[in-house]
Structure 1
Amino acid sequence: MNFRIDIEMTPEELRRALGLPDVSALQQEMIDQVREQMNAGAEGYDPLTLLKPYLNSGIGSMESFQKLLFGMMSQYGKDRHDAD
């Protein structure tokens, strides 16, 4: 027996329903501070320096994710072949 429930709600409504805190003010404050530092020309606040950690780990993370998916697909193929 299968049940399917479709609930239509906004991300804000889902956040409130799950009881998660509203951090939009904190997020905006942090973005404003980073923007001020970038406009002031503070060292380490140029776009390349800010994005560098995400670019380096992003490639490794994508490779890890691909390996995970490949492993899952390989195992699925083995399980289906063994069942036949």
Structure 2
Amino acid sequence: MKIKLDIECTPQEARIFFGLPDVEKMQEAIMKELQDRMIENISGLDPEKMMKTWLPASMKGFDQMQNMFWSSLSGDKGGSDSKE
């Protein structure tokens, strides 16, 4: 035997029916705090700082990174300084 029951109600009505707490004000406060933090972090982004953060400190520049990629693709384990 199957019984199918369709109930139309809003999420708030369902929470009240099941006795769940109303967390709408807390959720709004948390979302506002997250939004404020994200805006603060985005406004402080400097492309130079981001590149320094993303690239390892041992790399001097893009030429060195490019040489590293090319040497790894060609199978040269010693880098540009190795002699064949």
TM-score per shorter chain, which class? Answer: 0.3 to 0.5
Structure with max Cα Rg: 2
After TM superposition, the score normalised by the length of structure 2 is: 0.43
Q: Relative contact order: is structure 1 or structure 2 higher (C-alpha 8 Å, sep ≥ 6)? A: 2
